Amino acid sequence: MVTALIASNLGARVRNQAVVARHRADITQSLYHFSRTITGILQLEDLLWSASHQIATMLDCDVAMLLPDGEILKVKASYNGGKAVGAADLAAATWAWKNNKVAGRGSDNLPGGRWLFIPLRTGRGPVAVIGLHAERTGPILDLEQQGLLDALADQTASAIESILLAGELDQARLDVETDKLRGHY
């Protein structure tokens, strides 16, 4: 009888560990797929849409990608069920951008909104803000999802920065060629 209980307990542990290992393998595979997908994208709009879609799918929430247009943040891509980023939420997104800190629902900064906004950071500072929304009560993300979002956000920020830097380089080359044609060299 004791042997049967011990064997049953060990069997349950092994099954549980197998489920956890499979779940981690699925997450790792999803991150790998996400990384490969966004690495090959050359247009900012395509990157933002793809990242929005993947993040929404992986975290089971609505996603909006906001980028600056001058001094104003604008939604440049979203993957949601028609959940608009309202004026109060846009103010939280702008605060997150300007202060380079999380703001909105469930955060310590402007927590009254429906959306949670996280700056996408690189070594040069924030390059975009991602907004998350979910109808469920309580926090939008659990601890595991927060860790997954951190990885997705880092990859997305790096990809955005690469595209922006490539655009700046192309513009600098164009400026040099224009100056050459004008005879300034």
The whole domain housing 82 covers 2-182
- Bridge partners of 117, per DSSP, are 103, 131
Burial label for 157, CB within 10 Å (0-12, 13-18, 19+), is buried
Confidence of residue 23 (pLDDT cuts 50, 70, 90): low
pLDDT 10s digits, 108-131: 998 888 999 999 999 989 999 999
| CATH number for position 153 | 3.30.450.40
Name the residue with higher pLDDT: 1 or 75.
Answer: 75
Angle at 44 between CA 87 and CA 50, to 5 degrees: 80
User: CA 132 to CA 116: how far, in whole Å?
Assistant: 5
Name the residue with higher pLDDT: 8 or 76.
Answer: 76
State the total domains in the chain.
1
User: CA 160 to CA 44: how far, in whole Å?
Assistant: 7
Question: Average pLDDT in the 27-31 region?
Answer: 71
Of the listed ranges 82-86, 135-139, 152-156, the one predicted with least confidence: 82-86
161: its two tokens: 């920065």
Q: What pLDDT score was predicted for residue 9?
A: 76
Q: What percent of the chain has pLDDT over 90?
A: 47
pLDDT at 19 over 70: no
Answering whether pTM is above 0.75, one says yes
Q: What pLDDT score was predicted for residue 130?
A: 97
Query: How big is the chain, counted in residues?
Result: 185
